[in-house]
Chain A
Amino acid sequence: MTDSPLESAVNADSLRRFFHDVATPLSAVALHLEVANRRAQRGEDPLDAIGTARVELERALKLFETGRASLIGKATSD
């Protein structure tokens, strides 16, 4: 069965939010990995930046799973 325009809008909105939620920590991962890379090139300690990247990656995965579950939940309840 096809969605009504309202349902489509709600789904599109949920998808956008899902993408935004995941994209934020992924940005942090990319930035901190780059920082770590530059530090290593300069002979400085990159561990702190790598640690931050790891924390942010875990956050991204968590948000991904939460978002996915929420989207699947929406789809199955429809």
Chain B
Amino acid sequence: MKVLIVEDDPAIRRGLEESIKDLGGNPQSVGTAKDAARAIEEFKPHVLIVDIHLPDGDGIEVFRAAREADPDRDGIVISGQASIDNAIEALRAGVSDYLLKPLRPAQLEVVFKRLAERRRLESEVEALRGELQETGKLGDLIGRSAPMMKVFESVRRVSRTNAPVLITGRSGTGKEVAARTIHRLSRRSGMPFVAFNCGAISPTLIESELFGHERGSFTGADKRRVGYFEEAAGGTLLLDEITEMGSDLQVKLLRVLEDRTLRRVGGTQELRVDVRLISATNRDPKEAIRAGKLREDLYYRLNVFPIALPTLAERREDIPVLAEHFRKTIEEQEGAGVSGWDPRALEVLSAHDWPGNVRELRNVVHRAYVMCEGAKVGPDIVRALLPKGAGKRESSVRRGGKPSKSVPKVATRKK
């Protein structure tokens, strides 16, 4: 980690340089704001340790300029005078810590190590994101096709923020998987991920399930219950099949999103909630609005960042990769020794239209795995498992011999 020390006192400068070296950093030091500007350009530091009062300028301004050039830069400000105004200004400029003179080496060590650890984790997450995307895997999302690359990019971008996300896609395209991936890649990953299917619960119960209820608030409410919003505190809440939620409840949900507070059913107290909301639907949201299934005002609140998942037929080239992924997962669980695919079996899978999307593919792979008696899943097993005449492209698939070049092979994953 490259650290630029900007301090006019030469003895402190030398002491800081030595200390940062001892702590594993790569320091360079200058004594003026002017020299700092040059060093920022040439040395390209990751972190600046700046004295607030420099002979030719203001240390916070030096940091601000450095951060404008690279927003990922961190800063530690040193001041000889405790001033609330300076501390506020420093924090506004984005510095991580504010140290007062006389400096205490132990405090510097704690601050530096914390910063180094945070930066290490961030770069690890970033590297992981890039690596996963390169190997056709982002979280539990799998694919190499152009439509999935777009989805990966959207998921990667939105996971860094707290923006509400609306995921659309046909049944079985992986909406919950996408939501989980956003959560896993986000800063909320250490907190709960709660998925709630609005279509799976009676409309009369949804409100109490989501917001919780107080004891005695309705017949059968014999004790207080915390709702899904509160369960997901600090984390992410997925509301699947959002259009199945009644209009009255949609109004309440809108209020929660706007005020960031909720009231349990039968309760009087407003409770603050810190939840990242992801909603999903297999309907076209615009059509759902026209049909009166989704309130327009709620739609705009939920649809800050839309992600549309493609059907499996729209990303046919991902089928072999997905099939292999599911086979490996099943092999890890079952260990029956089914080690791969006959290429012709993958051709058959790739030619099918998959109205049930990835979910249907996963089920067929599992059944093929169970049926398989050899080391590799052959085309006959796969054909027997697919509905007759369901795959429009079946006729184009050769029934024997070598696989055609049009079907992508299962790629080898890089380590």
Contacts and interface: CB of A to CB of B under 8 A. Distances in A.
A33 B14 CA distance: 12
Contact of B105 (A19, A25, A34, A52): A34
Interface stretch (B15-23, B24-32, B226-234, B392-400): B15-23
Interface residues of B, number: 19
Contact of A26 (B16, B19, B102, B108): B102
A66 interface: no
A27 B81 contact: no
B316 to A, nearest CB: 61
Contacts of B16: 31
Interface size class of A (residues with CB under 8 A): 20 to 34
Contacts of B103: 27, 30-31
Given A27-B101, A30-B105, A20 B81 contact: yes
Given A16-B81, A35-B18, A49-B18, A56 B102 contact: no
B205 interface: no
A45 B154 CA distance: 55
A19 B81 contact: yes
A28 B9 contact: yes
Given A31-B16, A35-B22, 8 more contacts: A23-B100, A24-B9, A24-B12, A24-B101, A27-B101, A28-B15, A35-B19, A52-B15
The 10 closest A-B pairs by CB, nearest first: A31-B15, A20-B80, A28-B11, A34-B105, A23-B101, A26-B102, A27-B103, A35-B18, A27-B102, A23-B102
Interface of B: 9, 11-12, 14-16, 18-19, 22, 78, 80-81, 100-105, 108
